[in-house]
Amino acid sequence: MGTLKDKTLFISGASRGIGLAIAKKAAQDGANIVIAAKTAEENPKLPGTIYSAAKEIEQAGGKALPLVVDIRDEDQIKAAVDQTVETFGGLDICINNASAISLTGTLQTPMKRYDLMNQVNARGTFAVSQACLPHLLKAENPHILNLSPPLSMDPKWFGGHTAYTIAKYGMSMCVLGMAAEFADQGVAVNALWPKTVIYTAALAMLGDQVKPDYCRTPDIVADCAHIILTRDSKTCTGNFFIDEEVLAEEGITDLDHYAVKPGNPLLPDLFL
């Protein structure tokens, strides 16, 4: 198993949920983690700030740099990347985890919400990757990892929530394009998506729509991200990874410990 010791990771939306789980997993190796997220003050409905995340990362064994970043603003992104390089001397890994969601039909999606999803998901991913790439090109084993689904033109993935699918597929199209663009320069660009629903605080805000007992914890995504990010960037690029398949490649097939309630049937995630 490879290590992320002394590697510097720039993770968008890492104040909670999957982003924080990936950060804490890398921190166990002794990695440097930049928490690039908007939440500087506690939200009573949505626990976790960049500062509480930084404490958890440092307790896990890593170094943390919490930065208030709205990834819709390219100036904020550039300033955060500059501060990352100034603090840690470089940048090895970019993880595009920040995402906005609204599973609404065309007539139920206000344009303000449409714009938010596309600015955060598709545009934000492009902008963060663009800002990180000049530094990744100097790194020893550079990776970009987007938390986005495999691309499919099956109408069933669009019919119920066209706006969200467009925004989320925008992240995946960045994988498709950038993997091809930077393959010769050795920058790996991949996507990772869960086979089953992952229970997070953000999901809890949806109320009773998703019951936690039929979900997995973010740890499964964090373990898979660690596996991908320690692979050779020159030979591991342009993939749309599914968490279960990544673990199976490593000979890990007993996944019960990832379940919120082991033994229960699991809800399949969107887009699979």
Q: How confident is the model at residue 85 (pLDDT cuts 50, 70, 90)?
A: very high
CA dihedral (24, 2, 131, 163) positive or negative? negative
State the average pLDDT over residues 16-28.
97
Least confident of 57-61, 118-122, 208-212: 208-212
pLDDT for 219-265, tens place per residue?
999 999 999 999 999 999 999 999 999 999 999 999 999 999 999 99
Question: In whole angstroms, what is the distance from residue 215 CA to residue 228 CA?
Answer: 23
pLDDT, tens digit, for every residue of 99-110?
999 999 999 999
Q: Among the listed ranges 34-43, 148-157, 203-212, 219-228, which one has the minimum average pLDDT value?
A: 203-212
Distance CA 18, CA 120 (A): 16
Among the listed residues 114, 164, 169, 258, the single catalytic one is 164
E strand map for 207-258: 240-242
Q: How many CB atoms lie within 10 A of CB 218?
A: 22
| pLDDT for 13 beyond 90 | yes
The token pair at 128 is 């963060």
User: Structure pTM?
Assistant: 0.97
Q: Is there a catalytic annotation at residue 114? A: no
Mean pLDDT of 114-132: 98
